[in-house]
Amino acid sequence: MPANIASAAAHKIAAVLIEAGIAPPESPVTRSVKIEEHELSVTVTICRHQAATISPETLAKIEAMKPKPEPRLTQLQRDAIEAAPSRLHNPVSMKQLARLSGYGYNGHFRTAVNRCVELGLLVMLPGGVRKP
């Protein structure tokens, strides 16, 4: 029973400290309460969380495991990807891909397709472009 009382007292102290806007402070804040009927003293210390030091290698592994956000594509890029042949078919030239996707073959189109290649959404081969 005293453990339950101690836990309740600790929560009450923490709630008062948080409500007062004390937590999380720059330096630890300690408040105590003595429950005489059970000869029990409860001390609560609230302090700012200290982040553990992580090696750069471990941090790189954690970053690599995070899911990559979906790239934002323009309508032209989506159309080019949709019109590009699959792996089962021969690649097409950029000029053919522009015609298949309904766009003119110009610098804007080439830049959009090159961006898709950089993102890994299309593959540039000696024979042209196709889906990966």
What is the average per-residue pLDDT within 85-109?
A: 95
Amino acid at 55: S
- On the question of pLDDT at 121 being above 80, the answer is yes
Sorted by where each begins, the domain ranges of the chain are: 2-46, 75-130
Show the tokens assigned to 86.
């699959």
- On the question of pLDDT at 64 being above 90, the answer is no
- On the question of pLDDT at 70 being above 60, the answer is yes
pTM of the full structure = 0.50
What's the rounded Cα separation, in Å, for the pair 15 and 19?
6
